[in-house]
Amino acid sequence: MKNDKTENEIIDITNNFGTLYHPKSALVFYQTESPNSETYVEFFDMDKCGNPVNAHPLTVREAQRLSKTLNIQNKKDKDFLKPKGIISQNILHINSSENGKVVWFTQAQDRDLFFVKNLNIPNGKSNVPSLLWIANKQNLKIFALETDERPEENTPLFHAPFFNVYENGNVCMGTVDVKIKNSASLEEFTESWEHYFFNSYFSHLMHNHNPIKENCVNLWKNQIETKEIFPKEILVKNNRTLKELLQ
């Protein structure tokens, strides 16, 4: 690619950086070496070059401000996967550990779908089957369900009839920048994953895995054109159950 910039021209690339955090203050803890050691805390302001200045003992107000900051961060961590109200019947399992894990299902519904150009499938609204979702902060698995009923441990699962999904249910998110907040509520968590999945572009079958009994391209061309209810008879069983996935 030809570069039209002159050798000495300065290019501002700061907009490409993430959020910048500037040092504002610092704490230094001093401790005696005696058996009954005592601790002294000194507070420093930081000048515009990041150098410590204005050293003085930590005041009560500064300590209270620090405590408030730590409590706010601790509260955010505790809010992770906390429901905003009564837990929806769609939620099947919650693990609120650091990485989190939620299992939920959605009933058959109409969704906007997007496809890369070389598939020659028009973008548009289509009916999709009932789906089982399993996600943590970084990864998503998805499967299809035969009915809209709430699945049980031994409910048969089917391959999700979409591009970008591996045979084991793992979803390839491609270049999608998944950002699940540490303070995300249960509802925000599930809604975010559904948004990431349906608002990314479907592009290809994973390792030539065809998830349905027919041609996947023809299926979605027809669904976008006709707006028909999804044909469940073309789903393929994957011989797994929810109980196995929770182990």
pLDDT in tens, 92-118: 999 988 888 999 999 999 999 999 999
Confidence of residue 17 (pLDDT cuts 50, 70, 90): very low
Q: How far apart are CA 14 and CA 176, in angstroms?
A: 22
User: Residue 51: which residues within 8 A CB-CB, separation 6 or more?
Assistant: none
DSSP for 140-154, written as a single string? EEEEE-SSSSPP-TT
CA neighbours closer than 13 Å in the CB half-sphere of residue 34 = 5
SS3 content of the chain, % helix, strand, coil (to 5): 25, 30, 45
- Tens of pLDDT, residue by residue over 156-215, are 999 999 999 999 999 999 888 999 988 899 999 999 999 999 999 999 999 989 999 999
**For residue 136, what are the β-bridge partners?**
none
Domain boundaries, given as residue ranges, for the chain: 23-79, 91-246
- Asked if 138 contacts 99 with a C-beta cutoff of 8 angstroms, the reply is yes
Number of neighbouring beta carbons within 10 Å of residue 218: 11
Lowest mean pLDDT among 25-34, 99-108, 231-240: 25-34
- Tens of pLDDT, residue by residue over 125-139, are 999 999 999 999 999
Number of neighbouring beta carbons within 10 Å of residue 206: 17
Confidence of residue 77 (pLDDT cuts 50, 70, 90): low
Structure tokens at 52: 């410590």
